[in-house]
Amino acid sequence: MLSIFPSTNFILASKSPRRQELLKHILPTFELRIKEIEEVYPVDLNPREVPQYLAELKAKGFQDELKQNDILISSDTIVYMNNKIYGKPKDREEGIAFLQELSGKRHEVITGVCLLSREGIHSFIETTYVYFKKLDQNEIEYYIDHYKPYDKAGAYAIQEWIGMIGIEKIEGDYFNVVGLPLSRLYDELQKIKSH
């Protein structure tokens, strides 16, 4: 256990292998708990607030199970551009369409993170701006067919081939685009533990 977080039991509520791998870098020890929660949000909600809303929704499913020293971490990430949320593509055609739309433009990757304990709920959002160069049709189809990014918001992962050849620059936290804003998460955990 990290001495900066003595006697705290951390729980990650995510089945995402990327989030599990990322969290190991700042919290060597944590427990995994997963519940299937329907990810629905009010239609009139500001799109930029959707990830925080969904992160809180996921956390609340565990509210009655937490012990005194537990901190549960849940999160949700969206890709957002031109007032449209790009979720996980449902099939090849939608994956191709997403990347065609993102090609040559800047979009936002917004992650909502919720920290739940017996003391209450603490949540925040982190935004990173991602700039795609113009992708040609062959590149888009090659990526969709070889990497099958159907479990990824916006139909891509920055750490895969498409990110390496297609992303010109980012503004903000790289790890936020992978799935968890580690630096901000670490800071927010310290704030909670110092209260």
**2 in any annotated domain:** no
Has 173 been annotated as catalytic? no
pLDDT at 7: 84
**Catalytic one of 64, 70, 76, 136:** 76
Mean pLDDT by 10 residues, the chain (195 residues): 75 94 94 91 95 96 94 97 95 98 98 96 98 98 98 96 98 97 96 78
Number of domains in the chain: 1
Query: At CB < 8 A and 24+ separation, what contacts does 157-165 make?
Result: 157/18, 158/130, 159/18, 162/99, 162/135, 165/139
Looking up residue 53, the CATH number of its domain turns out to be 3.90.950.10
pLDDT at 1: 43
**118 in any annotated domain:** yes
